[in-house]
Structure 1
């Protein structure tokens, strides 16, 4: 009886390096890497908020997948009369436009660090999943009094076990970036009221070095300038470690903000 072929280090590297990385479809990782999801189920929770809203802005929509899912959850039920999305990375602008145009949602090309191209008080709900950085003054400006910012952010030191495996220990200041309590203080400084804040660290497992290569090629800011050639020695050590000890474990950080713009501003 023949044994199934066990891929070699070089085969896994080649495979991880060959897979296209466009969009935010993570189905390639099926069975090769896992990531626990936050308990609050952001896309479904967003769908619930959309059903109550009138004018909605999705900031940094990515490829539009989360907004598309949330809007379709309503089925033939009520959806907001006005929904607009912004996105700063041009390949994603095209992807999101193709996905959201059939739903009547315009995608506005707007750089992540530029002012939002909308009037003061234009929206009663602003949503965002994994914004690069929240611009609290702008969020506060485009929200109508009584309006809500409901968003899932990436938290501090997310997947740092993997990042530090390649880069070595990172400075404390880097580890504290995206700290939810810092973000809370910044939101309050912009005149917003934090109604709810939940934070979770979530287990990730990488089952082979090919999955690690694919992940680092896809999420390019994790290990800046990552290439298979540059990190070949570390990748070989990682391969041998996974073969000997089982999956490489890391933890992602996520937090959920429920924020209101007070009426008295």
Structure 2
């Protein structure tokens, strides 16, 4: 477990949430906040987050949509404990279960209206590993992306929605993993700035959906052609999500 001096206290959603995170381990940035803003959940529904880390995505979703039944699965015990502490500190009922998504714990072998995930960004092998083992495990793929998606599909109720955020370079793998059980898929490219290639994407798909695939216009995160100083440069739409806890200005699915 993390010692108190190994943690920082960080604000999310303009200070609406206070989250403890490890100084040198995996630290949530914008991805879990953007993921939460994309989930088309409503009060009374159930949501499972695979690989919940310190719980940021689930907590951001709870701040926007009260009355959800939230559960999280986390492989690393120290992060699972941190997610529970963060949930309690923010008054959110989040059940966090330790375990491996490739061998789903019995407590989570049930159906959910939504499954969400921010899978590891870097592929296995190659590159320079992180010095902190917790960060390395959170950021580098050990379990294939196809296994993440298979675990999510199994946990979805009929007509349930899968929401993922991941690197744009993994899109072919993700689409290949969506079999005949999933459909009505929607893809949102996340563009750092106008004219720049999208580095992240949000992909949503409905279990049993039959609507055609939709590619949405890019969502631009920052204003200006380049970073021009020590200040925030989020676009108004991005700031509404990241600072005010808003949802995307269009319905993804």
Q: Distance in 2 between matches of 1:73 and 1:199?
A: 22
**Residue 113 of structure 1, CA deviation:** 3.5
**Residue 123 of structure 1, CA deviation:** 0.6
Name whichever structure is richer in helix by fraction.
1
**Residue 94 of structure 1, CA deviation:** 1.4
Which one of 57, 60, 68 corresponds to residue 69 of structure 1?
60
Matched, 1:254 2:200: yes
Who is 1:243 aligned against? none
Who is 1:107 aligned against? 96
Aligned 8 A contact 1:116 1:138 in 2? no
TM-score (norm 2): 0.53
Query: Whose relative contact order is higher, 1 or 2, with alpha carbons under 8 Å and at least 6 apart?
Result: 1
**Residue 106 of structure 1, CA deviation:** 1.0
Who is 1:154 aligned against? 167
Aligned 8 A contact 1:97 1:106 in 2? yes
Matched, 1:193 2:196: no
Q: Stretches of 4+ moved more than 6 A in 1?
A: none
Aligned 8 A contact 2:189 2:198 in 1? no
Does the C-alpha gap of structure 1 residues 104 and 154 become closer, same or farther in structure 2, counting only changes over 3 Å? same
Q: Distance in 2 between matches of 1:137 and 1:45?
A: 20
Does the C-alpha gap of structure 1 residues 112 and 201 become closer, same or farther in structure 2, counting only changes over 3 Å? farther
Secondary structure, aligned partner of 1:22 = coil
Q: Distance in 2 between matches of 1:20 and 1:258?
A: 32
Q: Name stretches of at least 5 consecutive residues in structure 1 with no aligned partner.
A: 1-18, 27-36, 157-177, 204-249
Does the C-alpha gap of structure 1 residues 151 and 263 become closer, same or farther in structure 2, counting only changes over 3 Å? closer
Does the C-alpha gap of structure 1 residues 69 and 200 become closer, same or farther in structure 2, counting only changes over 3 Å? closer
**Residue 87 of structure 1, CA deviation:** 0.8
Who is 1:43 aligned against? 36
Q: Distance in 2 between matches of 1:44 and 1:263?
A: 21
Aligned 8 A contact 1:62 1:93 in 2? yes
Who is 2:8 aligned against? none
Q: CA RMSD in A?
A: 3.1
TM-score (norm 1): 0.51
**Residue 22 of structure 1, CA deviation:** 3.0
Does the C-alpha gap of structure 1 residues 153 and 94 become closer, same or farther in structure 2, counting only changes over 3 Å? same
Does the C-alpha gap of structure 1 residues 263 and 200 become closer, same or farther in structure 2, counting only changes over 3 Å? closer
Corresponding pairs, count: 159
Aligned 8 A contact 1:151 1:257 in 2? yes
